[in-house]
A and B are shown apart, each in its own frame.
Chain A
Amino acid sequence: MKYVLLWSDALVFLLAVSIAVFFWRLRRDPQNRERWSQVFGTRLGMVTFTVILAYVAVALFDSIHFRRALEPVPGAPAGEVFYDNRVTSVLDVMLDGMGERFERTYSAPFALKSFEKFNMKDEQGRAYRDYPPLKYGGVHLDDPADRTRDILQRSGAALLKGLVLAALVILPQWLWLRASPYPWWGSWLVQAAVICLGTWLVVISRHYHVLGTDLGGTDVAYLSLKGIRTGVLLGTLATLIMLPIAVSLGVMAGYFKGWVDDVVQYLYTTLSSIPGILLIAASVLLFQVYIDLNPDYFAIGMEKADARFVALCFILGVTSWSSLCRLMRAETLKISQLEYVQAAHAFGVSHLRIIGRHILPNVVHIILITFVLDFSALVLAEAVLSYIGVGIDPEMASWGNMINGARFELSRQPPVWWTLSGAFFFMFALVLAANLFSDLVRDAFDPRSKTRSPRP
C-alpha cells in the first residue's frame, strides 16, 4: 500500500484545520458565542448542521487516498512491489467494494437482469438475444421470485446492525450532553438516520445495486457517494481561495480610499462586467490545453483529473471575488468613520494594527455569511459547469458528470431514471441543508435582521 497525497487532499485537510481553528477562536468571543447559540438553539440549525457534517465526514474519508500493492507476479524479481494505477480511498474500503462490482451496462435498482438485451449462446451453441443476468445483482438467489423476501430479510438485519452502531455512537454523547440546553435530539436523530442508512446501503449493496448501475456498469449509489467529495470540496475551496483576495482588496479600498480605492473599484468593475461563465470557460479551456500539452507532469490519471479540479477551484475563486469585495469596501468605509477608529488614529496606532484589531473583527460576519451562502451556489454551479464541459474532469465522479451522462436517458423506453435520481437526491439534500443553515447564520449574524421588529 502506498499513500497518495493529491493536491486537493492537502488543501482539504488544511481547510478542515483552519475552519476548526477559526471556530475555536470565535468561541472565545462572548458576542460570537451568543450568536452561535442562537443558530444552534434551534432544532433546524442542529439538524441541518449535522447533515452538512455528515457530508463533510464522507468527503474527508474520501480524501485519504492510497494505491494498493499488486499481487506479485510469479517470476518477477522479489522485493519489488508494483502499485495499482487506480487510487483507492478510505471511503472505498468502508463501502466494502461497492465500486468494484461492475456490470456490463445499465441495470435498474435491485434488478436481477441487465437493462439491455445482448447476444448470448445457450448450451447447444445456438445464438439468441435476451436480457442477461447481472454479474453481481442478486446472483445468490436460487429463485428470482425470492427477491422481495430476501431484500426485506437483509434490510431488517442491516437496520438492526445500524441501530446498534448508532446507539454506540449516540450513547456517549447522550451521557455527556444530557444537561445541555441545546436541542441535541435533532442532531442525534439525523446521526441515527445517517448511520442506519449507511449500514443498510453497504450491506444490501453486497448483493444488489440499490440505485442500479449506469452506462458503464458502475453502481450509481457508489458514484453518488463519490460525488460528495467533489461537491463539498468545490464549494469550500473556491470560497477559501476567493476570501483573501476579496477581503484584502476590499478592506484596503475602504480604509485607504484615494487612488487605492479607484484601482480596486476599477478592477472589480472590469471583472464583473465580463460574463462569468465565459471567463470561467475560457480559463478552464486554457488550463486544459496546458494539461494536454504536458502529460508528463501527471503520473496517474487521477492526478490529472485532480489538477484540473484544483485549477477549477482556483478559477472559480479568482473570478468571483468582486461581489464580496464590494461589500467589504462599503462596510470598511462605514467603520473607518467611527469614533473609535478615529481615536486609534489620533493615538498613532499603525494602519496594520487598526485594520487587524478594529476593522477585521467587525466585518467577520459578512465573510461568514458569504461563506455559507456561496457554498450551495457553488455546488449547484458545479453541475452546470460539468454539463457545459468545463467542469470536473469526466474521469472524476461528480454529480454534474452523472447528470451530464444521463440527461438523454429519460427519453428511452422504459426511461433510465435512476442515475438522475441518485445525483438529484444527494445534491438536493446537501444544498437544502446548506441553504437552510445559511439562513439561520444570516439571521443570527446580520445586524440588520435583529433590528427588524415583528409586525404588530
Chain B
Amino acid sequence: MLAYIVRRLLYAIPILIGVNLLTFTLFFVVNSPDDMAVSQLGEKYVTPDAIEAWKQKNGYHLPLFVNGEAEGLGTLTETIFYTKSVKLFAFDFGRSESGRDITTDVRTRMRPSLAVALPTFILGISVNICVALLVVMFHATRLDRFAVMVFVAAMSISTLFYIIGGQYLVAKTWQLVPISGYHTEGQVWKFLILPVMVGVISGIGAGARWYRTLFLEEANQDYVRTARAKGASELRILFRHILPNALIPILTGVVVVIPSLFMGSLLIEAFFGIPGLGSYMLDAIRSQDFAIVRSMVFIGSILYIIGLILTDISYTWADPRVRLN
C-alpha cells in the first residue's frame, strides 16, 4: 500500500512538470513579457521606459531560459523559467502582479472557501443519493418518469439563474439572510446558508439523475432479485444491497473532487462575496494577474493528482477485492 502510494506520487512528478511547461509556454512564450506589460499598463501611453520599469519591478526582465550574463549556476537560476516556474515546486509562489504575497493570500483565503465548499459537497451528495434512491424505489412508474423529467429540466437551467433567483427570493424578497458578504467571527452561518443551499439545489438535477442511472444498473442484477425472493424489504434492498455495490462508481466521481474543495467555487464565491480562493481566481482573471493564475493552476493540478490517488485508496476501502500493487 505504502509502496503504491509512493510510486503514484513519483508518477505525479512528470505530470506536474508537464503542467508547468504548458503554463510557462502559455504565459511567456506565446505572449512575451512585453505584451503583458503593455496590457497591464494600459494600451495608449506606454513608453519603452515604463515597460522596462514594470518588467524590472515584477522580475520579468530576466531572459527566458538561459542567462548568458550570469556566472556559474546563475546562468540557469537567474531566468524567468527558474524564478517563475521551477520555484512553484517548492511552493514558493512569489508575489502577485500587484505586489501581494501569494502564499499568504492563499492561506488566508482557503478557510472561507472550505467553509462554503465542504458543507455544499457533503449535503449535496447526501441529498442527491437520497433523492435518487427514492426515485429508484418507484422505478418504471409514472412518478419515476416525472422525476426524470424534472431532473433534466433542473439541469437545463444555468447555475447563474439558481444564484440570481436564490438571492432575489431568499435574501431580497423574504429578507431571511444577507444577500452577500462574509464574517470571520460570530454569525458566519448567516452568510453561509444561502450559498450552500444554492450550491446544493443547483446540483440536484444532474447529480440525482446520475446516481439514479448507477442504482438502476445495480437494481437489475441477479443478487437483487435473490434478495427480493428471500423476502428482504425494499428499504433493506436499497440500503444494504444496492448502495454498497454502487459505491465504486460513486467513489470514482466523488473522491477526485474532495481535495479540490480547497479551490472553492468561482461563481458562488463571486456572487455571494465570499473572500475565498474562487473569488481570488476570478479577481486575478479579471485584473489579468498572471502570477496568481499560474500559482492557482499549479495548486489545482496538485490537488487533482492527490484526488486521483485518494480515489484508488478509497477503492480498497469500499471493495476488499481491490488490491493496490
Q: Are B156 and A452 closer than 8 Å at their CB atoms? A: no
Q: Does A22 sit within 8 A of B, measured CB to CB?
A: no
B31 interface contact, C-beta 8 A: yes
Q: With A277-B266, A384-B160 as given contacts, are A432 and B152 in contact (CB-CB < 8 Å)? A: yes
A431-454 interface bits toward B, Cβ cutoff 8 Å, 1 = contact, 0 = none: 110011001000000000000111
Contact A274 B152 (CB under 8 A): no
CB distance from B104 to the nearest CB of A (A): 20
Across the interface, do A274 and B31 meet the contact criterion of CB distance under 8 Å?
no
Q: How far is the CA of A341 from the CA of B192 in the complex (A)?
A: 57
> Chain B's interface: helix, strand, loop or mixed, by majority?
helix
Once the chains are docked, how many angstroms separate the CA of A380 from the CA of B164?
A: 15
Chain A residues contacting B271 (CB-CB under 8 Å) are: 407
| A455 close to B140 (CB less than 8 A) | yes
A34 to chain B, nearest CB (A): 23
Interface 1/0 per residue, A224-262 and B, CB below 8 Å: 000000000000000000000000000000000000000
Q: In the complex, how many residue pairs between chain A and chain B have their CB atoms under 8 Å apart?
A: 132
Instruction: Say if the beta carbon of B267 comes within 8 Å of chain A.
Output: yes
Per the CB 8 Å criterion, the residue count for chain A at the interface is 48
B220 touches A452 (CB 8 A): yes
Q: Please tell me the number of chain B residues within 8 Å of chain A, measured between CB atoms.
A: 54
B281 closest partner in A (C-beta): A278
B39 in contact (CB, < 8 A): yes
A389-B225 contact in complex given A292-B39, A403-B160, A431-B156, C-beta closer than 8 Å = no
Would A455 and B305 count as touching, CB distance under 8 A? no
Is A120 close to B, CB under 8 A?
A: no
B149-180 Cβ-contact flags toward A at 8 Å (1 or 0): 00011011111110010011000100000010
Give the chain B neighbours of A274 by CB distance below 8 A: 19, 22-23, 297, 300-301, 304
Consensus secondary structure, chain A interface = helix
Instruction: State which of B38, B39, B155, B300 has its C-beta within 8 Å of the C-beta of A278.
Output: B300
Residue of B15, B23, B282 touching A282 (CB-CB under 8 A): B23
Asked if A184 lies at the interface with its beta carbon under 8 angstroms from chain B, I say: no
Q: Kindly provide the distance from the CB of B158 to the nearest chain A CB, expressed in whole angstroms.
A: 5
Q: Is B231 an interface residue (CB 8 A)?
A: no
| A428 lies within 8 A of B39 (CB) | no
Does B18 reach chain A (CB closer than 8 Å)?
Answer: yes
Which residues in window 47-98 of B have CB below 8 A to A?
none
Q: Give 8 closest A-B pairs by Cβ, nearest first.
A: A275-B300, A270-B18, A431-B156, A432-B156, A273-B301, A273-B304, A281-B285, A410-B168
| Interface, chain A (partner B; CB < 8 A) | 266-267, 269-275, 277-279, 281-283, 285-286, 289-290, 292-293, 376, 380, 383-384, 387-390, 403, 407, 410-411, 415, 420, 424, 427-428, 431-432, 435-436, 439, 452-456
Can you give 25 A-B contacts (C-beta < 8 A)?
A271-B22, A273-B301, A273-B304, A275-B300, A278-B296, A278-B300, A281-B293, A283-B26, A285-B285, A289-B288, A292-B43, A383-B160, A384-B158, A387-B160, A389-B285, A390-B285, A411-B168, A428-B156, A431-B157, A432-B152, A432-B153, A432-B156, A436-B152, A453-B220, A456-B225
Since A407-B164, A436-B152 are in contact, a sample of 13 more A-B pairs with Cβ atoms closer than 8 Å, ordered by chain A residue number, is A273-B19, A275-B296, A275-B300, A282-B23, A286-B31, A293-B43, A384-B160, A411-B168, A411-B179, A432-B156, A439-B152, A452-B220, A455-B220
